[in-house]
Structure 1
Amino acid sequence: MSVQPDALWINISPSLLRFDRFLIRHLSHQVSIAQWEYFQNPDEPSSLDIALVLLHDYLKSCQRPIHLIGHSTSGLLGLLYTRQYPERVKSLTLLAVGVNPAINWQAHYYVMYQLLPCTRNMILAKLVQNLFGHQERNCTQNLIKLLEQDLNFSPSPHSLYQQATISPGGVSVPLMVCGSQDDLIVDSMALKGWKAWMKEGDRIWECPHGYHFFHYYYPQLVARQILKFWHLAVCNEDSTHHEEINRIF
């Protein structure tokens, strides 16, 4: 029988997974962490609903609650899951997810596409600068290709025809929200907006630099903060459990 991992990294953007791997590697040095990936079939509608069902199918096999973590839209899926099935989640860690959780880089893309008299390639080039900072020409072109793949093959609540909204709000399990001070997609105001929904033990942390993919540029620093949060979440859970036992007896 396989051993259940302590944490689960959610990814529904296969083309962007390479930016997660350094952080996953650092986390795996301290905890057992698994990766859950969703590859959208080209014939499927672009919706998070199918991914949500499949994630639940996986987590039903776990014998105890698990730490969930995800970046951007993958984090949004974790948020939606945790709101629906909090009993299966030990804690939730969101990277680059603002208080209005549906706002991601794709939402910015569709707004820019509608408002600016520019080609798709020009808009994506501008978004590369917003997401990663200034890049050399060859690197910019490679990143444009990755963003195009993400537009075409990852589930998204947004399209040219509609911009989805998801209600702000917290979760009943311990919550950590991470971002970067120079992220132009999820800025400091969007990150600090979570304060209105946080309970005791929840945490907001900002990386000094790194843009939208700060966890790629500073994986060791981000891992240190997440591991600290997970440790405190487990300690608080154990303390609550002991208090419940004492009340029983």
Structure 2
Amino acid sequence: MNTSQILWIDLQPSLYCLFKRTAQTLGQNFEVKRWSFEHDLDESCDVEVVHSLMRHTIENSSNPVHLVGHGVSGTIAYLYAQKYPNHISSVSVLSVDTCSTNQWTSHYQSMRSQLPCSRFHILSHLSRLLVASQTEQVGQIMIKLLAKCLDNDFVYGSIVKSQTITNIKKAEVPVLVINGEKDFVVDEQSHDRWKNYLKSGDCYQKVADGRHFFPFTQWSQTAKMIESFVNMIPEQHQNQIPNSCKNLSISKTNS
């Protein structure tokens, strides 16, 4: 097993079941640990608080740490890598835009405020957009998961009104970005926005036909992309960008 450690950043534990198969597949070749965060909805919480808790965990790790996160968790993981580049080996973000406020929850809040529909109907509509090829049973489960996430997890624009998340800029560590080709949250123009911040050797990949929660439906491809990227990073040079990654810079993976 590779001595590198993958730390899966999870700020929305209600949705972790959607990423579990990807994490388990990575666990066949890496030590994968889940860093989960929960807080009282009435408790003041911002990115700095989350980063300070992450830092305590990461600095105490005996192995090179590679951060992985989806959605807002990926955004927070990237901002950590941007702020503390010497602490980690790389960062892989899934369904993440450079505009940090562009989350599925922000789309929900916009629809909720503008449409004369119930929460259930909006979440029912969103669930079909966020996950591809779902059965009626999966659709009902997704509605419950999304509702639970809104009520209990770290959500941009939630009850903590003072919460702000800065936009993404260039990070010094090696970066892997994986977005879905048919993600209505992180739209097809996200690649153009990411070009401004990706260095030579960083990787931007698309999952063909992938929607926002593509790690749930296309976990094998997702895990392979992350595994290939992490394996290219020399452990003895944690902040050195691997030249071999240049061939992956704008590739597409079929589902």
Which category of TM-score, normalised to the shorter sequence, fits these structures?
0.7 to 0.9
- Structure 2 vs 1, CA of residues 132 and 56 (structure 1 numbering), >3 Å: closer, same or farther? same
1:113-153 alpha-carbon deviations (Å, 9 max, x no partner): 11212111111111111101354444322211111111111
State the 1:89 CA deviation.
1.0
- CA–CA distance in 1 between the matches of 2:77 and 2:13? 16
- CA–CA distance in 2 between the matches of 1:187 and 1:163? 24
- Indicate if the aligned counterparts of 2:74 and 2:93 stay in contact, CA closer than 8 A: yes
- Aligned to 2:193, the other structure's residue is in SS state helix
Identify the residue that residue 222 of structure 2 maps to in structure 1.
222
Q: What do you get for the CA RMSD once the two structures are aligned?
A: 2.6
Q: Gaps spanning 5+ residues in structure 2: where?
A: 242-255
Identify the residue that residue 173 of structure 2 maps to in structure 1.
173
State the 1:92 CA deviation.
0.5
- Aligned to 1:237, the other structure's residue is in SS state coil
Identify the residue that residue 109 of structure 1 maps to in structure 2.
108
State the 1:64 CA deviation.
5.0
Aligned letter for 2:60? S
Structure with the higher helix share, 1 or 2: 1
TM superposition score normalised by structure 2: 0.85
Identify the residue that residue 246 of structure 1 maps to in structure 2.
none
TM superposition score normalised by structure 1: 0.87
- Indicate if the aligned counterparts of 2:132 and 2:217 stay in contact, CA closer than 8 A: no
Matches within 5 A, 1:1-249: 6-45=5-44, 47-63=46-62, 65-133=64-132, 135-159=134-158, 166-234=166-234, 237=237
- Aligned to 2:234, the other structure's residue is in SS state helix
* Runs of 4+ residues over 4 Å off in structure 1: 160-165, 238-241
- Structure 2 vs 1, CA of residues 165 and 25 (structure 1 numbering), >3 Å: closer, same or farther? closer
- Structure 2 vs 1, CA of residues 163 and 133 (structure 1 numbering), >3 Å: closer, same or farther? farther
State the 1:42 CA deviation.
3.4
- Indicate if the aligned counterparts of 1:177 and 1:191 stay in contact, CA closer than 8 A: no
- CA–CA distance in 2 between the matches of 1:208 and 1:88? 33
State the 1:65 CA deviation.
3.9
- Indicate if the aligned counterparts of 1:48 and 1:155 stay in contact, CA closer than 8 A: no
State the 1:41 CA deviation.
2.3
Aligned letter for 2:75? L
- CA–CA distance in 2 between the matches of 1:102 and 1:172? 22
- Structure 2 vs 1, CA of residues 236 and 41 (structure 1 numbering), >3 Å: closer, same or farther? same
Aligned letter for 2:13? P
Q: Which moved more, 1:132-141 or 1:24-33?
A: 132-141
Count, aligned residues: 239
- Indicate if the aligned counterparts of 2:179 and 2:210 stay in contact, CA closer than 8 A: no
- CA–CA distance in 1 between the matches of 2:101 and 2:27? 29
Bigger radius of gyration among the two: 1
1:46-77 alpha-carbon deviations (Å, 9 max, x no partner): 53333222111111212454110001011111
- Structure 2 vs 1, CA of residues 47 and 165 (structure 1 numbering), >3 Å: closer, same or farther? closer
Q: Gaps spanning 5+ residues in structure 1: where?
A: 242-249
- Structure 2 vs 1, CA of residues 81 and 168 (structure 1 numbering), >3 Å: closer, same or farther? closer
**Percent identity (aligned):** 27
State the 1:209 CA deviation.
2.1
- CA–CA distance in 2 between the matches of 1:85 and 1:20? 25
- CA–CA distance in 2 between the matches of 1:85 and 1:30? 26
1:77-117 alpha-carbon deviations (Å, 9 max, x no partner): 10121122111010000000012133110011111111212
- CA–CA distance in 1 between the matches of 2:205 and 2:194? 11
Aligned letter for 1:167? N
- Aligned to 2:145, the other structure's residue is in SS state helix
- Aligned to 2:66, the other structure's residue is in SS state strand
Q: Which moved more, 1:73-82 or 1:39-48?
A: 39-48
